[in-house]
Chains A and B, each alone.
Chain A
Amino acid sequence: QKEVEQNSGPLSVPEGAIASLNCTYSDRGSQSFFWYRQYSGKSPELIMSIYSNGDKEDGRFTAQLNKASQYVSLLIRDSQPSDSATYLCARTAYQLIWGAGTKLIIKP
């Protein structure tokens, strides 16, 4: 069983809609969670981190963490074509443990 699971997609969302990306994990002891965005051919860049249960908002991005259910989500409001990328979920362990990523496509 993979330690961090993501649907590989692609997830296709119309421009202006809300994109919802999900990630589940297997270790209840995980403390910190991260969402990275990776454009094709580029390196991952950190967009959100979340440490406590509940929601954390940063501009158009909202990260949601539910430790009891062992999932973390990323919501992107008012999706733009520039949001088209692969989104990687990661959690802390001995090092960061990575999901394989979800490819998001925003259709104009």
Chain B
Amino acid sequence: DVKVTQSSRYLVKRTGEKVFLECVQDMDHENMFWYRQDPGLGLRLIYFSYDVKMKEKGDIPEGYSVSREKKERFSLILESASTNQTSMYLCASSLEGRGAYGYTFGSGTRLTVV
């Protein structure tokens, strides 16, 4: 069964900390995505990657960066965590970038910044 694994289910960090959220997929997908989801705002795309070492900004990249050194791993980095980055973070991967076959999501990381 295809799988997207996010390293942490719940995370509590302090304001100003550097935070790493890890995502690993075992489907040999080239496309990977990071979203955040907040009540009433739906899924908002932060960054995505169509290939190793390649990244593109999504709709809300400010305050975030990403790293994709290997095909199976896509990391989201909060350079200096702030309370407004408290959210559910969802990683997804897809066989085809435009989404023709849909996306597979990880189980999510609920991040709280205090």
Contacts and interface: CB of A to CB of B under 8 A. Distances in A.
A46 B102 contact: yes
Residues of B in contact with A, size category = 20 to 34
Interface in B74-114: 90, 94, 97-108, 110
Contacts of B90: 43-44
A34 B90 CA distance: 18
B42 A98 contact: yes
Interface of B: 33, 40-43, 45, 48, 58, 90, 94, 97-108, 110
Contact of A100 (B41, B58, B97, B110): B41
B108 A43 contact: yes
Interface residues of A, number: 23
Contacts of A98: 42-43
A49 B42 contact: no
Contact of B105 (A8, A45, A93, A95): A45
